[in-house]
Amino acid sequence: MAPAPSAAPSEPIESAEPPAAVAAPEPRLQAAETVRVRLSKLDELIKLMGEVVSSHARMRERLADIHALERSVAASLGDGAAQGLRQFARLLKDDVQAQEALMDELHDKTLLMRMLPLAIVLEPAARLVRELARSVGKQVECSIAGTEIELDRQLIDKLSDPIIHLIRNAIDHGIELPAARAAAVKPAQGRLRLSARQDGGWVVIEVADDGGGIPVAAVREKAVKKGLLSAEKAAALTDQEAIDLIFLPGFSTSSIITDLSGRGVGMDVVRQTVLDELQGAVGIETRPGQGTTFSLRLPMSLAMMRVLLVQAHGLPWGFTAQHVVELQRVPAQALMQVAERQVVIVRNEFVPVVPLAELLRVPAPAAPAGGPGVQERHPGLLLVVLQVRSEKIAVQVDGLLDERDMVIKPLPPHLRKLPLVSGMVITGRNEMVNVLHAPALLEQARRLRGQGVQAGAAAHASTTPYRVLVVDDSLNTREIEKDVLQAYGYHVTLAEDGVDGLRKAMEGEFDAILTDVEMPHMDGFTLTARLREEDRYRDTPIVIITSREKEEDKRRGMQVGADAYIVKGDFDQNNLVETLRALLG
């Protein structure tokens, strides 16, 4: 027999010893990384935490009381007697500040527990688009962005209905049928975009379509047919004022209300929800043939908000800081009388000035009220500049009281119909203070301004209805100049920048043009030069109204073809009217 083959040299030689036994792992329980908590318990925790932070204001008041006591003791018994009290006040101040920092951090982290991504609202809404579009025979592509941005669950819960309302209206009466889009040289498939972005302490949610836009002429016509406005008042409305009519209850430009709803049906519900329940604002931008964008501007949380406390006629009032642009103290001579109202120039634009007590119809106190905590009086007027969307108003107050994060409590049921008040806060002295609703204040000021303009129009009405185009990127400046001109009988059309002004000038016929200089897309100098190139505007009076007062700017204005150059700081409505009369005469 052949001998057995020997083992290959590369193969290992097995050891005779058995391998060592591997120790068995010690059994352990896997700890869960999440804990389920009922939402009601979480809401109670956040509410309680907010109350703790808010009540900490009382500690600051006690600290102020100790400082007052220290000054009193020093005045009566001497500085040495107050030394121990002063040291105690210093230590208490350090303790109060340290505790405040810890509580603020604890409250912020507690709020994060209730923040949810907008994907919870936007993604289900986007899935509805194809089904809704198919039901009305349209093709719509939907895109979403910003779903990772987070909002308080209180806001998320109330946001779904307004978003769905806007989507239904965009599909039903915003985006055209494929045949109509083909006739307008558009893709057969419409586009709907849901997006969110953070803007400071706000979250802006936009629902934008590329449809035909809101028919402004049809809105005016429907308002007249429904008896909401006279034909004269409807014609005098600016495009933005006419567009805002769609927020009236039951208003719709559609002749047929479909299963989805016409543009305008339910818009009053959207506006009421956003303004009253979510403490936000609604904006609309529309361009004929290019589409419409609805913007919802919302605070990130309603649990606690920054509040500015002021005083007017001896009473405290509050403003949420999101609507406060700036505080200004101006001399009384800085106010100008324009269109029966007082205005002040802020950042190159006219801003109406209204005393807060006048807006609220608060009677003057019987005797001057200083109130604890009011700052020392200074010469001049103290103005709180509020902004809602692109509109501003300067509210005159008597003094500042405080500014801090506070819990805004809802009004009791019998007071929830008050449009000017959005809630209440409690100060460190256990005072209940009304928090004013900035959008409602601007609406109130607009009504007061309209009454003043109507009163002045009767005295200055002109028999020659000249057509004037006003071009300015500031909504406030456009509105104030419109009020001045309408009071003297002019028919006014507004444009929001140089490009918009040039387009409207080419589409219509105007007897005179007023323009600002500093505007996006096209400035006033370029607009004037472009208009002078057109035969029909070669001799039309063009007046530049700007804050630029350098001689080189005035020379450039005349070089491009302006007939007059008015500096806003020297603005006088009589001068403007006389200048127009001379140029048109």
On whether the CB atoms of residues 421 and 437 are closer than 8 A, the answer is yes
pLDDT of residue 376: 46
Per residue in 515-532, pLDDT (tens digit) is 999 998 899 999 999 999
Helix (H) or strand (E) holding 220, with range, is: helix 216-225
Domain positions in the chain = 39-112, 115-299, 305-363+379-410+417-444, 461-584
The answer as to CATH 3.40.50.2300 being correct for domain 461-584 is yes
State the virtual CA torsion across 474, 480, 483, 484 in degrees, nearest 10: -120
CB contact burial 459-473 (16+ within 10 A = b; e otherwise)? eeeeeeebebbbbbb
pLDDT of residue 468: 92
Q: Which CATH class is domain 115-299?
A: alpha beta
| Nearest residue to 446 (alpha-carbon basis) of 362, 318, 354, 363 | 354
Q: Going along 270-340, which residue ranges are E strands?
A: 281-287, 291-299, 305-312, 315-320, 324-330, 336-338
On whether the CB atoms of residues 71 and 439 are closer than 8 A, the answer is no
pLDDT of residue 544: 92
Q: Which residue has the tokens 């309302």?
A: 165
Which three-class secondary structure state does DSSP give residue 315? strand
Long-range contacts of 447-455 (CB under 8 A, 24+ apart): 448/341, 448/354, 448/358, 448/359, 449/339, 449/340, 449/341, 449/352, 449/483, 452/339, 452/340, 452/341, 453/339, 453/340, 453/483, 453/486, 453/487, 455/340
Separation CA 272–CA 280 (nearest Å): 10
State yes or no: pLDDT of 339 exceeds 80. no
Confidence of residue 27 (pLDDT cuts 50, 70, 90): low
| Nearest residue to 575 (alpha-carbon basis) of 331, 583, 348, 452 | 583
CB contact burial 308-333 (16+ within 10 A = b; e otherwise)? bbbbbbbbbbbbbbbbbeeebebeee
- Locate 235 and state its tokens: 């014609």
State yes or no: pLDDT of 476 exceeds 90. no
Looking at every residue in the chain, the average pLDDT score rounds to 82
State the virtual CA torsion across 530, 536, 539, 541 in degrees, nearest 10: -70
- Which residues are bridge partners to 392 per DSSP? 387
Separation CA 498–CA 172 (nearest Å): 33
CATH topology identical between 305-363+379-410+417-444 and 461-584: no
Separation CA 508–CA 506 (nearest Å): 6
CATH assignment of 305-363+379-410+417-444, among 3.40.50.1370, 1.10.10.10, 2.40.50.1040, 2.40.50.180: 2.40.50.180
Axis crossing angle, helix 39-55 with helix 83-112, rounded to the nearest 10: 160
pLDDT of residue 25: 63
State yes or no: pLDDT of 581 exceeds 50. yes
On whether the CB atoms of residues 135 and 128 are closer than 8 A, the answer is no
Per residue in 138-164, pLDDT (tens digit) is 889 999 999 999 998 888 988 988 999
